[in-house]
Amino acid sequence: MDADDSNNAAHAAGSDARLSRLDDAALGHILSFLPAVEAARAATLSRRWRHVFAAMHTLSFRESDRPFSMGYRWFELCSYCDPGDPDRVRPPRLVSGVGAALLGRHRGGPHAAAALRVLRVAFDEYGFKGGDEARNAVDGWLSYAAAYRAGGNLEIDLRLDGGEPICKRAYSLLLPPGLDGGGEQEQERCRRRGLHRRIYRIYIAPKSLFSCAALRSLRLAGCGLDLPSTIALPSLETLHLTRITEGSRTTGGGATAVQRLVSACPRLADLTLEACGGGGNLTVLSVPGTARLRRLALRCCHDLAAVNVGDSSELRAFEYRGGVPKPTFLTMHGSARKISFCTIDLCDQGPAGTPELISNLLHFIRLFAGVERVHLTSARLGCGIGRGAFSFPALRKLELTGMLPEDDDTASITAVTRILERTPSLETLSLFFLPDPYPVVDTTGSYMTVDDEEAIHAAHELRYDQHVALTVPDVDIPCLRERMREINFVHYQGAMAQRMLAKFLLRNAPVVDEVWCEFARGPLSIQTKLMGEIKGWVLNKSAKMMFC
């Protein structure tokens, strides 16, 4: 070993010694930021670290790999099934691991286990014949968290939904009439959902969970609700529900469990509902006025028809994902002036010229006219809002995500122009280009999407045609001429419509001082040509330009 290696080894040893001199509480706090499996390995470092695991206040567990069986009928092939008898299964390894970790916190002799602040478990394999043993184990984890909680501050995060996307609706442009498969596709989706429910076992959260006075944050995914007659959650501030079904362990249950739970949280400040209320179980949601919400997120609750917020005076952020809502969808009582961030994600077929859809969308976004940041996602970039009357006088950051087909060259410029004219304070504009649909054109010139992943990726590769004439208008838009400081392009592939829109923005933004562009995959030679083209369009030659 040379002198440099010796010095490095001595320095590392000195650092380890200084770290080991910290008390157990400090070391436990540091290890709490790691997954429990990684933190437990610290016990092998030395005798000093043997009992540090007991000092951790946060325990996080997650299965290392998604089960092969997830979402498929051949679930008997999963790692813990007995091929000889598919009805007899061994509990997944995660069950044993979590149980051993919880018991291991009390093997330190005089070293008392630290009070538990956070318990996070992502148990993907629960639903596939987990059996009574797995259910009893999950009950035990929740009981342990309640028994060894840290005063009035407990966070429980239990995800049993397999980590699948909350919504499988793909972004696609409107199909020609008669070619969308309509009823047959919807019937097939319903058939698959019914089959999945028969195969998948739902964990029903115990009633005792909803009478834990110390519970401050609760996240449940892929669970069922079995609410007691009286719910007592006086400290709950954050509630996050994903794919929640409503029922009990013995009976069918009611249809208002989510509503009852929301109404029973007087201190609720952060509410997120994702893919809840399937089958029409949740069509109306009312947030009581005693709950001073600061954040509300509604994602893919497609049966939800009306939301009533009793007091929106403290609301700072609103997120929505779903179809274009009707004018009666959202009612907010009190002033909504503090809302500074709004995300609207239209995951179904966005408006493509339909007056009713555009009118409904404009009515919806006018509710957030005073926000400073907006992120709008739809199948078609801008989703047609430029054709309506609206105004965002305080908007400073705007993010638009969507597709920009080749035939949208002038239409996209017109739409963006109208949007910029209604955002006089805009300083940052970000455009996220979704992969174009693989086009199949019928006699009307409408697009349809082919369900072929490779074809979609092929359509999203870089392209460059140096012979195309890119003629864009010179306009006088106040925010573009005087206030626009930053313009970002993400997944820029160099299609004609994208190039024309980029040129239009950069040639009319003399004060922009930062341009950022992320290219789609493709050869370096095309990236170089597109990069040089963008640099030539930027009027402020001292602007900071970044490409990747």
Whether 130 contacts 263, CB under 8 Å: no
- The H or E element that residue 187 is part of is helix 182-199
Sorted by where each begins, the domain ranges of the chain are 21-159, 396-548
C-alpha dihedral (346, 350, 354, 355), degrees to nearest 10: 30
pLDDT digits (tens, 9 = 90+) for 312-327: 999 999 999 998 899 9
pLDDT of residue 356: 83
* Residue written as token pair 């509503």: 259
Q: Looking at residue 311, what is its pLDDT?
A: 93
Low-confidence ranges of the chain (pLDDT < 70): 1-17, 64-92, 108-111, 127-131, 170-200, 247-255, 278-280, 348-353, 384-389, 407, 409, 436-460
Q: What is the pLDDT of residue 273?
A: 96
- Tell me what pLDDT residue 407 has: 67
pLDDT digits (tens, 9 = 90+) for 221-234: 989 898 999 999 99
Q: Which helix (H) or strand (E) holds 518?
A: strand 514-519
What was the pLDDT predicted at 195? 45
Q: What is the DSSP string of 194-254?
A: HHHHHHSPPEEEPGGGGG-TTEEEEEEESEEE---SS---TT--EEEEES-EE--SSS---
Residue-level pLDDT at 162 = 72
Residue among 300, 301, 269, 296 nearest 283 (CA): 301
Q: Kindly state the DSSP code that residue 547 receives in the 8-state scheme.
A: E
Considering the entire predicted model, what is its pTM? 0.82
What's the CA gap between 86 and 77, in Å, rounded?
9
